[in-house]
Structure 1
Amino acid sequence: MKPVSIRTLRSTDTEALLAFERDNREWFERHIDPRDPAFYSVQGVTEHIATYLADFAAGAWHPFVIEDPEGKIVGRANLKDIDLAEGSAEVGYRIAQSACGQGLATLAVKHLIQQAQVHWRLNRLVAHVYAGNIASAKVLKRCGFLIEQLALHEGIERDYRFGLWIEESHQYATGSKDNS
């Protein structure tokens, strides 16, 4: 895997983010709910970024982009619905189809876990994955998430809720878990 960087989304990312989203629209819509068609424009992405950055400033979201060595966006990752009182948030991520299979989703989720713990002092993360999205389920399991429940949506669509207690998984990963 070539080195990539993960950084907080910036207001100057409009063109690059629009290209990423347009290039991967069909791919993403196979695995997650489709975006409103109005999103796929300079104005739509500009408003999207402004909303995410306002939510970041308010402490409700932390949006990241993943860039390849040339600075092209190849993925996104977010801590969303951050609840500081409960110490929890939801994770979400999407990787360009051309960058799949390179470990970027795992890298993104590990980055979210680290940021949740260090930057936000959270201790609980959740993620929702459609039942047919086996690759995302594997990524979450690889990062220490466990299946908590199965939900049905409007008939036949099902998804799984995964959860992670950060402190426990961090201690386990570092070998410092106290079993007393």
Structure 2
Amino acid sequence: MNTYRVRELRSTDAQALLAFETDNRQWFESHIDARDPAFYSLQGVTEHIQGYLSDFADGRWHPFVVEETRGKIVGRANLKSIDPVQRSAQIGYRIAQDACGQGLATLAVRHLIQEARSRWQLSQLVAYVYEANLGSKKVLMRCGFLLEHPATGAQAGGESRFVLAI
């Protein structure tokens, strides 16, 4: 049985992250907006990681990966658009298709909540989920997020906004 851990993204993760993103591209694109095709190369992923780590150093993002004991990346999770004045951030996460149903999204979201509270002293987290993404809605509700009524700026079939007061 695999065990999993959530850890910060590293500059050395490019090859493993490219494999994760490439292997799950079709799955992810069925739930979220597609990435630019240039992303799907070692150079594209390396630049992506450098951008995230730069934003982390500036206090705007906090990127994580979920990995199994053998070091294979099976998920990602981010605190993004960190606003220290408003004490808020958005969250985002994605889990490999073959790792779904094992509680990894819940593990990742709970880790983000803990980091938001302890490291960043945030008081609110926000997540946006496409209407059809029932799995993510369940994860967010399980972790204490509430659906905002009405979803600000939501269109039919668009995104719902979930909020967690920390």
TM-score, normalised via structure 1 length: 0.89
Q: Which residue of 1 aligns with 2:35?
A: 35
Q: Which residue of 1 aligns with 2:76?
A: 76
* CA contact 2:78–2:92 (8 Å) conserved in 1: yes
* CA contact 2:28–2:94 (8 Å) conserved in 1: yes
Residue type at the aligned position of 1:36? D
Q: Which residue of 1 aligns with 2:135?
A: 135
Count of residue pairs brought into register by the alignment = 163
Alignment of 1:76-95 (within 5 A): 76-95=76-95
| Partner SS state of residue 15, structure 1 | helix
The CA RMSD measured in Å over matched residues stands at 0.9
- CA shift, 1:44, in A, is 0.4
Determine the C-alpha separation between the residues in 2 that align with 1:131 and 1:97: 19
Determine the C-alpha separation between the residues in 1 that align with 2:61 and 2:72: 23
Alpha-carbon displacement from aligned partner over 1:145-178 (angstroms, at most 9, x marks no partner): 00013301xxx54110000001xxxxxxxxxxxx
- CA shift, 1:119, in A, is 0.6
Which structure would you say has the larger Rg? Answer: 1
- CA shift, 1:2, in A, is 2.9
Alpha-carbon displacement from aligned partner over 1:57-102 (angstroms, at most 9, x marks no partner): 0000000000001110000000000000110000000000010000
Higher relative contact order (CA 8 A, sep 6+): 2
Determine the C-alpha separation between the residues in 2 that align with 1:164 and 1:90: 10
Q: Which residue of 2 aligns with 1:115?
A: 115
Detail structure 1 runs of 4+ shifted over 6 Å in the superposition: none
Residue type at the aligned position of 1:135? G
Whether 2:44 is the aligned partner of 1:44: answer yes
Determine the C-alpha separation between the residues in 2 that align with 1:160 and 1:128: 6
Residue type at the aligned position of 1:74? V
Determine the C-alpha separation between the residues in 2 that align with 1:157 and 1:53: 33
| Partner SS state of residue 24, structure 2 | helix
Q: Which residue of 1 aligns with 2:101?
A: 101
- CA shift, 1:15, in A, is 0.2
| Partner SS state of residue 31, structure 2 | coil
Unaligned runs of 5+ in 2: none
Unaligned runs of 5+ in 1: 167-180
Residue type at the aligned position of 1:108? A
* CA contact 2:132–2:157 (8 Å) conserved in 1: no
| Partner SS state of residue 117, structure 1 | helix
- CA shift, 1:5, in A, is 1.1
